[in-house]
Amino acid sequence: MSILDLPTEIQCDIFLHAHRDSSKSKAPRRHHGHGHQLPVEVVLSHVCSQFRHIAITLPTLWTAFKFDNRLRVPNPTTKLEQYLCRSGTQLLELYFCFSKSDCHYNDDSDGPFQRDFALIETAFGEANRWRRFTLFAEDISGSDFIDRTRFDKIHVPNLEYLALCFSAPPPLRASHGPRDKRRAIFAGGAPRLCDVRINAVIAFHHPPPLSTITTVTIQCKPHERVQFDFNKIHSLLTIPTLINLSIESYNCLRNLRRLPSDLENLPHKRIEMPSLKTLRITDDSGVLGILPCLHAPLLETLVLHRVNLTGLDVDRDISYNEITTFIGLDTVALLDCRHLFGDISREGEDITDTILNKLACRAIHVIISDPRGPSFIVKGSNLLDFKQYAWPRLQRLTLDLSTFVGPVFSSENFEHSLHPLTVRVVEPALNHWREPDGLTTLPEPHKLETMKAGDLMMDDPWPTPGGLFDEGNVGLDFAWGEVLRAKGPDWLRK
């Protein structure tokens, strides 16, 4: 039997499965240096007259549209209009990637090519049908883009996911110039919006409605240098419904010297985050000073990546007893972190170690990675000194390090652990760093396990991305999926 002889309903199901399975490559892409690879719905509509009729009259097949202006696809506005028409009343997933460096300009040299704005204006006509909307714009100011469009006025009643990432304008002093004006987007409302991925300019100058938000990712490239006052950070942190927060920025706070006084003025010296379960911070060491003030009883996963842990100590007038332990913490991951030692308490303990232990001491799983060189845990930190610091629930210890030399790796240290530990290390590193009194001679009942380079050190706590398009690590110099994998020592990879 030919596929053409199958009932129309079955052919429709086949088309929809093909549509979903090919979603990672739906966008027009360069193919062998010539042209682009067509989306599956376009291919199906050009096979034969029967396939074309079925494809064009199947609305679900046309609900996802992706455009990248670097591929120079002809007549994109016409193509978008066709998608909008053929999708009927179905909810939409729209993805746009604009790059000023790859397109022509209008007479106004500060603006991107007019075609790109025409696409957005066309999409605005169906804003009531947006379910997912993604816009990445390289080298374009977010404030300029919003000034030229209607983002601040439209109503998006069905929008669930929003990604808006622009290059930021030059740093401006507070309240100076029209670009620094705070003008929220979606003033008409976004009652179903729950997941946003935005850069710092959008987050604090043009925020979307946040009352129903559960997941927030804030991104900022190194060259943006966008900084904001503590009260703006505080308003974001205290969203009652916020479950997942990822701060991927560089020194987001405007004046770190004011942070101690800002924190002291908080009610009860706390930042209440009643629903938070996952917190990731990368690169922004300045934000770490907020952690000792967080009251997040439901926090399960804390990931600190490429930060200077010394930022936890901001010289506040706060006692050890005022720091609130994350009582629900399951996993704390310290990935490629640094630590400048020297701040010692009256009791002779390192202040950073003390704060970090007080925050994370309820963790069941501790992960430390720094395969490129000696880790802070080797260079003087006593965080894993079980005689000095208690870890009452610790059961697993995952280490992706370049060396295991030091007292914290001795058999004597592990004898002071309150529970039997399972210690995981990368196998080649362990074989190279065998010591007479090291990890290879762990005393019972502790257990040693090995992992291979590329193995996940922890399950990714971040919600699985929905939608058909894979955004990946657009605008970042790293990918979380790779950061969470063991690499093995740098000298083993050379």
**Average confidence (pLDDT) over 246-268:** 69
For residue 384, report the phi and psi dihedrals to the nearest 5 degrees: -100, 20
Tell me the residue ranges of DSSP E strands in 220-321. Answer: 244-248, 271-272, 278-282, 294-295, 301-305
Cα 282 from chain centre? 9
The two three-digit tokens of residue 91, written as one number: 């909810």
Q: Which residue has the higher pLDDT, 393 or 148?
A: 393
Q: Which residue has the higher pLDDT, 38 or 378?
A: 378
Residue 14 has pLDDT above 70, yes or no: no
Question: What is the DSSP secondary structure assignment for residue 82, as one 8-state letter?
Answer: H
pLDDT at site 117: 81
Judge whether 282 and 248 are in contact, CB under 8 Å: yes
Q: Widest CA span of the chain, in angstroms?
A: 84
pLDDT at site 402: 81
**Average confidence (pLDDT) over 169-185:** 52
d(CA 362, CA 368): 16
Question: What is the DSSP secondary structure assignment for residue 450, as one 8-state letter?
Answer: E
Cα 172 from chain centre? 26
46, exposed or middle or buried, with CB in 10 Å at 0-12, 13-18, 19+? exposed
**pTM for the model:** 0.86
User: Residue 43: in which H helix or E strand, if any?
Assistant: helix 40-44
d(CA 10, CA 386): 63
Residues 6+ apart with CB under 8 A from 230: 253, 254, 258, 259, 262, 263
Q: Which residue has the higher pLDDT, 415 or 429?
A: 415
Residues 6+ apart with CB under 8 A from 200: 168, 218, 219, 220, 224, 226, 228, 249, 252
* CB atoms inside a 10 Å sphere around CB 158: 16
d(CA 288, CA 286): 5
The two three-digit tokens of residue 64, written as one number: 């996802």
**Average confidence (pLDDT) over 201-228:** 81
Find residue 368's DSSP bridge partners.
334, 399
Among 37-41, 57-61, 207-211, 285-289, the range scoring the smallest mean pLDDT is 37-41
Q: Does residue 365 sit in helix, strand or coil?
A: strand
Cα→Cα distances 73→30, 67, 95, 106, Å: 10, 8, 14, 19
- Domain borders along the chain are 1-62, 64-213, 256-274+288-494
The two three-digit tokens of residue 272, written as one number: 């209440």
Residue 364 has pLDDT above 80, yes or no: yes
**Amino acid at site 23:** S
d(CA 301, CA 307): 17
Q: Which residue has the higher pLDDT, 435 or 489?
A: 489
Question: What is the DSSP secondary structure assignment for residue 184, as one 8-state letter?
Answer: -
The two three-digit tokens of residue 442, written as one number: 């762990």
